[in-house]
Amino acid sequence: MALTRKEEERALNADEREVVAQTRHPAVQNLPDDALDALLKRLRDLRDKASSHANQQRREMRGKAAPRGAEPSTGNAGSSLKATVLATALKRLNSEIQRRAEITRNHSLIENAQRALHLKMEAQRKNIPFNTRHAGQGMHDIPDKEVVSLIRPAERGRLRKASHVAQAKRDAAEK
């Protein structure tokens, strides 16, 4: 279930609210890439701190860990909510980084396609057919060397027929 902004603000302190506010739509698109990387690192640190605090409180409630304060925690709803809010903000930030990477990839594809088109047009201006093979002054035809048979076709047929007849005689003798 989605969290309302009131619930998010209740779970965060002022510094964390400012960091999370920068991950929302209009503000995140105006950030430069280096500021986006710094914000990502800061947000990961806050999320890790909140989740480890929530885990510690959960262990204290079960009696698995010694209490950090004067008495053991009785609940960790606030800390786990804070970790959830920060994780959601981190997801938004990661999706913005992926969106920017996709735009960069698309621009590089477009630039490569335009460069290839330019090279193709240059080749056509030089009256060289596109996608043909060239070697030095150009390719020259090498005619196939046809092997001339020294055996006459009639002789070949006579030998074939003689082998058929001989095989038929052998087959008849075996029966």
Q: Is 71 a residue whose pLDDT tops 80? A: no
Banded pLDDT at 165 (limits 50, 70, 90)? very high
Percent of the chain with pLDDT over 90: 48
pLDDT tens-digit profile of 41-70? 999 999 999 999 888 888 888 888 877 776
Indicate if the pLDDT at residue 76 is higher than 90.
no
**131 near 120, Cβ under 8 Å?**
no
pLDDT number for residue 66: 77
- What is the pTM (predicted TM-score) of this model? 0.59
Q: How far is CA 65 from CA 43, 62, 73, 74, 79, in A?
A: 27, 8, 11, 13, 17
Q: What is the mean pLDDT of the chain?
A: 86
> Residue ranges of the domains in the chain?
5-125
For 118-140, the pLDDT digits (tens) are 988 887 777 666 566 655 666 67
